[in-house]
Structure 1
């Protein structure tokens, strides 16, 4: 067995030890598309929020190591209550998920009793427990259209809510939350990127502001972007989301050139996970994410209902 130096860990030794511990613990590593390259490279499965949720619901492994942010690991723990779910970077929170509380949502439900509640998967377990159904950026429109109600409380992302409103006749009541990474992308960023790469197609995430979406060629979730780039006829693409996705695009679509719409599109909490933390987490089986049973049972209904939407 290799000895890992905590002061200056060797990446090769870390990878070898992670592989050893995975076998020993019967563990699987899930990573979001925004994770750092080294973490993506040691993951067993990489995807967006919907893909990761679906994967977490079907795993047979005893241990799930979630390389992402807190709400993702919570979702995995809710879907697999008998599994040990680990979040290597315990402080990797999602700022947008913290922009609404269960108490605030209960007030909204009292104000609009005839409305269905759709919560973006980027929310806490407590908020999910107060919701009728969850959604992700890749299925938000389908989720809203699947509802019988004509009025929808949509939390917490105002930009995604605004995007969904373009494709439905339902009344969307959005909360004023936002993803700081996507919300700060501007029309000036789009104009500058097009100036530098005039032949490139602009793809943006639906968490972007409406005026940015209006200037884009296509709007996709992260996995939707990857599929479009890999299968599309174009050779150059400007990518309007967190820059971590560029690593996967380079691996999955090596014949395409992809440029960041904004080099400042960095989610600092997504970057908190590194190889050392993955190793330490597997070795100690901490930090473990556990959702209280009563909250998990209620939240599971909203998540499962989302997963049933096709």
Structure 2
């Protein structure tokens, strides 16, 4: 059994900069145990001409230790197009890997754990979309990017939480079907005059939060700033000081520099933002996404070694799904 390095042992200078970003959540001893694996992944990326795309909800070791491109769903989708790598490793969940494959059909896209799904994406199927279209003929369908390629292939355009209102209004119609997140649909309906016909899907992480949580944390931390993701229930959004996508939440902390903040979203998001906002105190009720946490340094390494598991999408489905994503990218943020 390997001995755990002393917390006083000096770190390899190659890893010092990354460690400074994670030292608030990872001890020197833990980091020293991770660095051989990080080195192995770095060497494999170089050998395979690969990049790692990491969502904001990834653990800090992945987000700061091995990622090449980080961000929210829209940022990862947009920047995946620009990479000249032959191999893309998605440190996120399955629908994100599918989106990367849609936009990079000639590249190898790896999903370190194919079971890393999403309760929201799994709340609807392509057959469900077809049934909605039959019920509301001629009404365009907007799909949150947190959906499968099967669903994306059946809709008119995708969106993210950051550009949902802009996408809806870009269609120039009086009503749209908006799926699958009920709470995001409710939020969008409050920001536009377009009538929103929702689906009743939810994120299992964001739906856990309550307005009482916010009240309790405000009582415990006077002056607390509360920023919430629009996948949260309406009473939570109503109690927040700011509502936005993960990227917008990150920008808010960076620009406003609140003394203390409660980020009402997945717990690792705050861990990763802390690196850029050391002066801010983060209040964290640690609601973790069990699917995101299936991605580890170990299975990223294993995927790069074997170039498996690969994400593949049937050609006809991919062509239709790609069109809906490209329309979203054309609208932008």
Unaligned segments of structure 2, at least 5 residues: 1-31
Counterpart of 2:148 (choices 124, 131, 134) is: 124
Runs of 4+ in 1 over 6 A off after TM superposition: none
Contact kept? 2:257, 2:280, Cα under 8 Å: no
CA shift, 1:250, in A, is 1.1
- Aligned residue for 1:12? 35
Matched, 1:35 2:47: no
Matched, 1:309 2:311: no
Counterpart for residue 275 of structure 1? 297
Quote the residue 1:209 is aligned against: 233
Look up the SS of the partner of 1:57 in the other structure: helix
The farther-off stretch of 278-287 and 226-235 is 226-235
Measure, in 2, the Cα distance between the counterparts of 1:288 and 1:236: 42
| Counterparts of residues 141-152 of structure 1 (less than 5 Å) | 141-152=165-176
Report which of the two has the higher share of helix. Answer: 2
Q: Does 2:278 match 1:254? A: yes
TM-score by length of 1: 0.95
Deviates more, 1:10-19 or 1:86-95: 10-19
Where structure 1 has 5 or more consecutive residues not aligned to the other structure, the ranges are 1-8
Match status 1:92 vs 2:137: no
Which of 318, 328, 332 is equivalent to 1:296? 318
Whether contact under 8 Å (1:114, 1:149) holds in the other structure is no
Q: Secondary structure at the match of 1:271?
A: helix
- Cα shift at 1:301: 0.6
Q: 1:102 aligns with which of 115, 121, 126?
A: 126
For residues 37 and 76 of structure 2, the distance between their equivalents in structure 1, rounded to whole angstroms, comes to 24
Relative to the length of structure 2, the TM-score reads 0.88
C-alpha deviations, 1:76-122, integer Å up to 9, x for none? Answer: 00000000000111110111101011111101101111211000000
Does the CA contact (< 8 Å) of 1:86 and 1:289 recur in 2?
yes
User: Alpha carbon RMSD of aligned pairs, Å?
Assistant: 1.2
